[in-house]
Structure 1
Amino acid sequence: MRYFETRKARIEIIPMIDIMLFLLVFFAMMTLRMIPTTGQVSKLPTSSTASVMPAPKLLIEIRAGGHVFVDGQATDDASLTALVRGRDAAKLAVTIAGGEDASLQQVMHVIDAVRKGGATQIGLAARQSSE
């Protein structure tokens, strides 16, 4: 008559741990995907007074030849101004990343286009110098 005995219910912990670990990894990977891109400019100018800035809401890259890229797409001054106007310009944090070969005039063109759009929080990306 052992077959008719009622057995006490058990909660299996191992499958629950597996599911929780899967959820932890899933949310960690999704959180990392939501972090804004840092851009593709690898040769940023250096500065001995560079400081950490908050993550930009809009990253503008000035690549070789003066080509301007926003989120990986080429753009010009007029469309850059329209893009900044389309967002909440008062709260928009813009970071401009130019390579070592970007001229000051190219940087000023981008700054002018961003300011025409209404943004006031503009930062320039730089690497900390090793000195």
Structure 2
Amino acid sequence: MSVSTGGQSADGVKKARIEIIPLIDVIFFLLATFVLFTLSLNRIQSLPVDLPQAQPSASKSQEDDMIVIQLSEPGTAFWNKESIAYAEIEGRLRAALQANLNPRVLITGDDKARYGAAVQAFDEVRKAGVTQVSIETTYRPSGR
């Protein structure tokens, strides 16, 4: 800010005046400086990374070996698209464990499934002794 004494009053005393134009220039200069400074901060330096590519499954038998347990409303579950009760899950898993040394289990749910049902299914899988368990994060329509 600058003070100018260019104006005089009627009694002959010079009045002080505040010039706002230089103040506006300084503010615009600071604004432009901060804008340019923040734009220079957006440079992201990164390293090139070679990510592995997904390979389609070699055979359909791997998908056929997977056991899909789909959870629905309380008391209803599906074993590879076959409707079963929760009480049957452990027995069927033990039979699958006898037939296949290391069965793969996928636990999924529909829009009516509850969190407690998923915990119960995981508990049944653990009690049966199955070690390869996955959970699907998108829901499927019932029985699919």
State TM-score, norm by structure 2.
0.45
Relative CO higher for 1 or 2, CA cutoff 8 Å, sep ≥ 6? 1
Between Structure 1 and Structure 2, whose CA radius of gyration is higher?
A: 2
State TM-score, norm by structure 1.
0.49
Structure number with the higher strand fraction is 2
